[in-house]
Structure 1
Amino acid sequence: MEELSASWNEIDNKEEVFEEIMITYGQELLHLVFSYVRNQAIAEELTQDIFIKVYYSLNKYKGKSSLRTWLWRIAINRCKDYLKSWYAKNVVKVDDEFLFGIDRNENVEEEILQKEEEQLLIQAVMNLPIVYREIIFLFYFEELSINEISSILKINENTIKTRLRRAKHLLKKIGDEEKWKNI
């Protein structure tokens, strides 16, 4: 797939290649978008919009960065545009069931306690300001390196490290010191 830098216009099976991109990156992209908008329906809609934009922009992909980094940059820009919109500021509510991944059929006490801790952590992360939330999401959930995050967000590595430290500090303040100290 990284061979897309050749030329999108020369590829005969564009639909197959694009479908492979959607299959490979779709779920990760949806999680990234959700980390910004905090609403399942909006995240799904924006992810579709992002893939449409990607499809029409693939001929502009030069291969200077990885395809994943290029996709994440498009997605983050689209999410930030959405968050600035009137609709996002005045209409949207958070869908708690998607946010916390509630599974109503869990009966085992240990699993329930684990889910509660995960929910607290997710809630704490989702309540962070966006500049910290995006760093935590990309670093811990997407497991990107500081260098990759710097490339995606177009922020220098020292700023990324500082924001990561501050985000962890804020999470520790929010929760019980023992619960979050392993972050």
Structure 2
Amino acid sequence: MEDLMLDVSELADSDELIDEIMKRYGQDILQLAFSYVNSKEVAEDLTQDIFIKCYKSLHTYNGKSKLRTWLWRIAINTCKDYLKSWYNKRVLVSEEEPPNMSTKSDEIEEAVIQKDEDSRLVSAVMSLPIEYREVVYLYYYEELPIKEISVLIDTKENTVKTRLRKAKKLLKEGIEDQYDG
């Protein structure tokens, strides 16, 4: 997705700009937040907070980095702040969803098998410590280069590479344990 061209000094209407940013990046930010908190409801709340912070901080965007990088930095910091917060450590969020009903047995069986495999992978990724989970998400899902990930999470490129290797090892072990056990 191409980055939104933005010259803050020429902004005519911040409301229109934030609407455009939300349209372009809303789903991506929601998925990024979910990768940190593992809760749809909390991710939705954090996404709203992230866009409020973005709106309030638009005047600070200086164009030295891509708008997407600037926005992701706000999102990552907001998610990390939430994970450290009293609320996160003390309040339990429930996420019960009604089961889906289908009609064709072959499609149902295939969907169940795929869903099981997907949920095992998601479960394994979400069980990783946050420093591994964030690099896995940014590298494999967002397809960001290691250099950009290092800027986003404020760490060295070699550290990002090491975390990716360690995360892959942990995922492999976790998935093998699931199938063995």
Normalising by structure 1, what TM-score? 0.87
Alpha-carbon distance between aligned partners in 1 of 2:101 and 2:18, rounded to the nearest angstrom: 37
| Percent pairwise identity | 53
In the alignment, structure 1 residue 7 sits paired with structure 2 residue 3:
no
User: What is aligned with 2:43?
Assistant: 43
User: What is aligned with 2:163?
Assistant: 163
* Residues 19-44 of structure 1 deviation map (CA, whole Å, 9 limit, x = unaligned): 11001000000011111111111111
Q: CA deviation at 1:96?
A: 6.5
* Residues 63-98 of structure 1 deviation map (CA, whole Å, 9 limit, x = unaligned): 11111111111011111111111110111346365x
User: What is aligned with 2:100?
Assistant: 104
Look up the equivalent residue of 1:7 and give its one-letter code: V
- Structure 1's unaligned 5+ residue stretches are none
CA distance 1:128–1:94, shift in 2 (3 Å): farther
Q: Do 1:38 and 1:95's aligned partners in 2 also have CA atoms closer than 8 Å?
A: no
User: What is aligned with 2:154?
Assistant: 154
User: What is aligned with 2:20?
Assistant: 20
- Map 1:111-130 → 2, pairs under 5 A: 111-130=111-130
Normalising by structure 2, what TM-score? 0.88
User: What is aligned with 1:140?
Assistant: 140
What RMSD, in angstroms, separates the aligned Cα atoms of the two structures? 1.9
Q: Do 1:38 and 1:94's aligned partners in 2 also have CA atoms closer than 8 Å?
A: no
- Structure 2's unaligned 5+ residue stretches are none
Bigger shift: residues 127-136 or 12-21: 12-21
Q: How many residues align?
A: 172
